[in-house]
């Protein structure tokens, strides 16, 4: 009985291992053109103190416009009096 359980377990392991290896061999990876190309970025800083008097809706509108122009929000940093600077980045062509 122990021998049968061992053989069934071994056969099952071999089948699953074979299925996993066969799926790994059929990958259609696309070669990267410009592997050594250097990515270039441009950055933009928006200070909410410049838009604070107009309210947060104005700042939200500015952020949405930047997103439409391809700017990606990269982070923020608190500056004096709990105001913030917001950083955006965009990949150069």
Task: Return d(Cα 89, Cα 73) in angstroms, integer.
Answer: 7
The CA angle 48-49-52, to the nearest 5 degrees, is 80
Q: What is the pLDDT of residues 7-32, one digit of tens each?
A: 656 556 566 555 554 555 555 656 66
Segment 50-57 shows an average pLDDT of: 63
Say whether 44 sits in a helix, a strand or coil.
strand
Q: What is the pLDDT of residues 29-45, one digit of tens each?
A: 566 666 677 899 999 99
76 versus 79: the higher-pLDDT residue is 76
Task: Return d(Cα 85, Cα 46) in angstroms, integer.
Answer: 6
User: What pLDDT score was predicted for residue 60?
Assistant: 84
DSSP state of 36: T
């Amino acid at each position: 009985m122990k021998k049968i359980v061992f053989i069934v377990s071994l056969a099952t392991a071999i089948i699953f291992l074979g299925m996993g290896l066969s799926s790994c061999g059929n990958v259609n990876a696309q070669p990267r053109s410009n592997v050594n190309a250097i990515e270039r970025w441009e950055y933009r800083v928006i200070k909410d103190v410049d838009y604070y008097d107009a309210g947060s809706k104005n700042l939200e509108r500015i952020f949405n416009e930047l997103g439409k122009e391809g700017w990606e929000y990269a982070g923020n940093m608190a500056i004096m009096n709990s105001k913030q600077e917001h950083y955006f980045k965009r990949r150069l062509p």
